[in-house]
Structure 1
């Protein structure tokens, strides 16, 4: 059984009394436990809408989405909030750290909301901060660290709940190339330890770190690539070829 399963997901937005926009037309794919999946597509292709539906921040107009065989469309608002806290981790382009908290308290926030004990939180953070190389940053404010360090803090906050699924929305979009590479290497290491990752990205370079890449066009899956035994450079070339075909509205070889 797949960890995440989407079947015939459709999302329609009403834009006026009679007009509507189909953001997602028919999206179906599974995500297995331990997968690292990148989702690519042009602006307006439906990537962010899809991520919001998976995150239970929005509901599909029709179709089925299940995580661990739980039908996410049937969750109440309170159940959805609890589900997000306990089952999902989020990493955003803009980091979304609170400047009034130090980095340690930013990381603790999901566990505070879950009413965990201070001892439990400290026990969870110790190996995580070591693995992410942020032990010396914990008592500093977000404003006192670099963008790459902020993203490491944000990754720690996402992982401290031991999520079933890590959702990343353009996680390198606000970083320079050097910090982007460091964050992508971190994601790769996290995945190698068994964490399932679903990442929306415009960056072919970022997608080349994933095991699998889905391309969305006009609300549908246009193409799908698997990395397999290819090197990052070989896989990057395949991704770029697919993006070129996508832009030119032609079939992928």
Structure 2
């Protein structure tokens, strides 16, 4: 059974008493251990889709299930618990608290989950070593580089041992060197079994994934599967698909 399934998901907003269709009809499935990138033009519905999966927004119709749990049926309180215990988030702008040191930023979701300090320290030690952030744990986010901040944010997302890691433009605020470092980390944790669903506008970022879904006008119109292609060949296929999408947009 897939880890995540969406069936005929639709999201309609009201804007100045007009209906705006953000998602028209989205159906997809993600199996445990998958690594899926979602691409599309600005306004195609990528972030709306991610927000619905994250229970930060609700679909107007359709079903979203994680391990059989219908996410649309969660109460607000249970949705918050679900996000804290089942999901990890990596955002473009890090979303770290400058009033907390890096260690406490990472511990925050476990504090909210009422884990013991011993359990928190036990989880952090190997993760900090893997992310190479052990020397900066007692510093504050404003004292470290953007690449280091994103690794701290990744540690905060992964320390909960989430079923699903959601990444929204995770390399958008990083230079090419730090972006490559973060993507190598995603490769490592995916190799260890972590399921990743990532929204990105970057073909290079998407080339690290195992599957790439392209959204246009609120529907999935194309899918690429990496298979045994290397990153460069897969990047070429992604770029060709984006070029075809841009050509279609220009003609319409």
TM-score of Structure 1 vs Structure 2, range by shorter chain: over 0.9
* 2:185 corresponds to 1:192: no
Question: 1:157 maps to which residue?
Answer: 156
Distance 1:97 1:29 in 2: 31
Question: 2:19 maps to which residue?
Answer: 20
Question: 1:215 maps to which residue?
Answer: 214
Report the alpha carbon displacement of residue 144 of structure 1 after superposing the two structures with TM.
1.1
Aligned ranges 1:113-124 → 2 under 5 Å? 113-124=112-123
Q: Matched residue of 2:16: which SS?
A: coil
Question: 1:11 maps to which residue?
Answer: 11
Is there any run of 5+ residues in structure 1 with no aligned partner, and where?
none
Report the alpha carbon displacement of residue 20 of structure 1 after superposing the two structures with TM.
0.3
Aligned ranges 1:44-83 → 2 under 5 Å? 44-83=43-82
Please list the CA deviations of residues 113-151 of structure 1 after superposition, one character each: whole Å capped at 9, or x if unmatched.
Answer: 011111111011011111111111101111111101100
Please list the CA deviations of residues 157-178 of structure 1 after superposition, one character each: whole Å capped at 9, or x if unmatched.
Answer: 0001100000000000000011
Question: 2:202 maps to which residue?
Answer: 203
CA RMSD, 1 decimal: 0.7
Aligned ranges 1:96-245 → 2 under 5 Å? 96-245=95-244
Q: TM-score, normalised by structure 1?
A: 0.97
Q: Matched residue of 1:249: which SS?
A: helix
Report the alpha carbon displacement of residue 97 of structure 1 after superposing the two structures with TM.
0.4
Report the alpha carbon displacement of residue 15 of structure 1 after superposing the two structures with TM.
1.1
Aligned ranges 1:86-97 → 2 under 5 Å? 86-97=85-96
Q: Matched residue of 1:48: which SS?
A: helix
Please list the CA deviations of residues 187-215 of structure 1 after superposition, one character each: whole Å capped at 9, or x if unmatched.
Answer: 11110110000000000000000000000
- Matched residue pairs, number? 249
Q: Matched residue of 2:248: which SS?
A: coil
Please list the CA deviations of residues 209-245 of structure 1 after superposition, one character each: whole Å capped at 9, or x if unmatched.
Answer: 0000000001000100000000100000000000011
Question: 2:28 maps to which residue?
Answer: 29
Distance 1:192 1:249 in 2: 36
Distance 1:243 1:232 in 2: 16
Report the alpha carbon displacement of residue 16 of structure 1 after superposing the two structures with TM.
2.8
Please list the CA deviations of residues 62-120 of structure 1 after superposition, one character each: whole Å capped at 9, or x if unmatched.
Answer: 00000010000000000000000000000000000000000000000000001111111
Q: Matched residue of 1:215: which SS?
A: strand
Distance 1:203 1:166 in 2: 18
Distance 1:118 1:166 in 2: 23
Distance 1:13 1:226 in 2: 32
